[in-house]
Amino acid sequence: MFAMLGGRLSLHIFSRKEKAGATAWISTSAIREQERMILMKFFNEIHSAVPLFEKERFIRLYDSCAVRRDLIVTMAAVTAKILGPIDTWSSFDLDLCLNSLLASPPLREGSDGVQTDLDSFRQECLLAYYDFHQFPGASSCMRIARLTRKAYAVGLHQIENPGLCSAFQPKTETEDVIEDWRYVWWCVYCFDSYSNISAGTPFIVDEESINTALPRRPFNQDVVSPWTVSSPKVFLPDGPSELWEIAQKSTSYGDLSGFNIHIVTATMLRNAGAVLRLRSEKGPGRHRARIADLKRSLASLRLALPPRYLNPTRNVLKSEVPPDHHVRLTNILHLHMARIMLCLPGGLSAGEEEWMEDWQQTLEASLDIVRVVEQWDSQFSAHVDPAICFIVFLALAILNLHRRSSIDESSELATTISQSETILMLFLEHFSSLWTLPKFLARVYRDWQAVHTHRLTPARIEAILNHIKPPLHPKFGRTYRDTIEQHTSAPIAGPDLALGGDLWNPEEMLIFTL
């Protein structure tokens, strides 16, 4: 437990035998005011990326010592690690604390086999968020998968159906706590989305199985919202064709930075990511009708958003504050990435004109991503989910292929593309000061770019696109050496990038050649 011990934050780990077996218990000591300061930093700079709490109510519970200690330790440790070390907590102790938290059994089961404690779910959500972005790989993806299965087991996907939800007692629980559970579910939904898109694996969450309303309470506690328990509930539709309606309903109160819009844009990206995965698994050209429907759904969603929503500049005249601006930029990036995925050419056999039209749209969407990144202020990077670095990585790859295609190297467009690549790389480098994931992506791209400079024909580009795999796929970059990029001879990920031994084996990434 935190206690007064000379004003220095130290860590002690010991074991204690209980009925369930040996359990690692973490005990820390610190001045309580310092602990509270760290928690306030969490809410001010990190909470919007993983909105699991209602700030004022949480602080009241914390002040009355009604919050689980392991949750507080997790919040403090993650905050200190992301935002930088603090004088009273050494880097060694901090890493030891986080490693111990990550190694502890996730969501330990009770006697009935199901753990339904809200704080336990919140803690596991924070650890999954941290683990995935700090140690991207098989284990962190499996952590998210286990968390998602556990959420299903207690019925978080059926919160509005008391007969199928066992996480709480609806007749005795307050609406505020039920709303907390909704936020837990939708955070898990987002984790499931980007972890599986980045690994090229099927989603665990089935959208049609969800009977949990979108949150009504704004995650930004500074936003004045008229939400009440009697406010109408809004549900995610079974298919993407109706997402535009949800976007309109979610913005009807004027809260343009709300978590619901984030869920809507993430859902559009999920559907586009599923098509990209099927393209790799079954080949291009087999899902033309589905892609056409998704393009129309994306167009409808974009048009349903409020005026200027897709304008990446901050809306100063509407008093948009920088943190909310960056949340909105994240949602815009979702839509641009979805467009790239849906516009990847299906094959030259369908006609060169159609192929070229789709290929040009990927360039347009990639440059749109650059325009969003140009508005980025790195001091607010901790406010958003670093999974957006996957979007920047894809845009980098597409821009590189365009620059190496039939574009005149001395043209203005070639110069624009080259400058855009530089901007996107600098974006990844800024994020690298906070997380390992962007550091890994930047290293992969930089090393690949250094050895692949030759020109590409449309046929070669098509072959590359037909074998494209996301960065966390277990065979990422392994299948193209002999058939596409025969100039590669050097590995791109050496031992110095071993991220705690849990990243995909570097041998699986020896030849990243999109």
Q: What is the per-residue pLDDT across 78-134, written as a single tens digit (0 to 9) for each? A: 999 999 877 777 888 899 999 999 998 765 554 444 446 899 999 999 999 999 999
Q: What's residue 505's pLDDT?
A: 35
Q: Let me know if residue 194 belongs to a domain.
A: yes
Q: What is the average pLDDT across 412-429?
A: 95
Q: What's residue 220's pLDDT?
A: 61
Q: What's residue 4's pLDDT?
A: 28
% of the chain at pLDDT higher than 70: 81
Q: What is the per-residue pLDDT across 228-277, written as a single tens digit (0 to 9) for each? A: 556 788 999 999 999 999 999 888 765 655 789 999 999 999 999 999 99
Q: Let me know if residue 207 belongs to a domain.
A: yes
Q: What's residue 400's pLDDT?
A: 93
Q: What is the per-residue pLDDT across 199-226, written as a single tens digit (0 to 9) for each? A: 999 999 999 999 999 998 876 655 445 5
C-alpha 355: how far from its chain's center?
31
Q: What is the per-residue pLDDT across 284-314, written as a single tens digit (0 to 9) for each? A: 777 889 999 999 999 999 999 999 999 999 9
Q: Let me know if residue 386 belongs to a domain.
A: yes
Q: What's residue 95's pLDDT?
A: 92
Q: Let me know if residue 134 belongs to a domain.
A: yes
Instruction: Give the chain's largest Cα–Cα span.
Output: 74
> What is the C-alpha R_g of the chain?
23
The token pair that represents 408 in the structure block: 């005149």
Residue numbers of the domain that contains 158:
115-213
CB under 8 A, 24+ apart: contacts of 417-426: 417/363, 420/366, 420/367, 420/370, 421/396, 423/370, 423/373, 423/374, 424/369, 424/370, 424/373, 424/392, 424/395, 424/396, 424/399, 425/396
Q: What is the per-residue pLDDT across 367-381, written as a single tens digit (0 to 9) for each? A: 999 999 999 999 999
Average pLDDT, the chain: 82
pLDDT of residue 349 exceeding 80, the answer is: no
- How many domains does one find in the chain? 2
Residue 155 — left, alpha, or beta (φ > 0 → left; ψ -120 to 50 → alpha)?
left
Q: Residue 100, exposed/middle/buried by CB under 10 A (0-12, 13-18, 19+)?
A: middle
Q: Let me know if residue 139 belongs to a domain.
A: yes
Q: Let me know if residue 392 belongs to a domain.
A: yes
> At which of 187, 213, 239 does a domain end?
213
| Confidence at 511, pLDDT banded by 50, 70, 90 | very low
Q: Let me know if residue 404 belongs to a domain.
A: yes
| Confidence at 338, pLDDT banded by 50, 70, 90 | very high
Q: What's residue 455's pLDDT?
A: 86
Q: What's residue 32's pLDDT?
A: 81
Q: What's residue 506's pLDDT?
A: 32
Q: What's residue 227's pLDDT?
A: 54
The token pair that represents 234 in the structure block: 């809004």
479 Cβ contact partners less than 8 Å away, ≥ 6 residues apart: 467, 469
Q: What's residue 254's pLDDT?
A: 58
> At which of 213, 230, 250 does a domain end?
213
Q: What is the per-residue pLDDT across 164-182, written as a single tens digit (0 to 9) for each? A: 999 998 888 899 999 999 9
Q: What's residue 13's pLDDT?
A: 34
% of the chain at pLDDT higher than 90: 60
Q: What's residue 12's pLDDT?
A: 38
Of 419 and 6, the one with more pLDDT: 419
Using CA atoms, how far apart are residues 49 and 42, in angstroms rounded to an integer?
A: 10
pLDDT of residue 434 exceeding 50, the answer is: yes
Q: Let me know if residue 25 belongs to a domain.
A: no
The token pair that represents 162 in the structure block: 């008391």
> At which of 173, 198, 213 does a domain end?
213
465 Cβ contact partners less than 8 Å away, ≥ 6 residues apart: 284, 344, 345
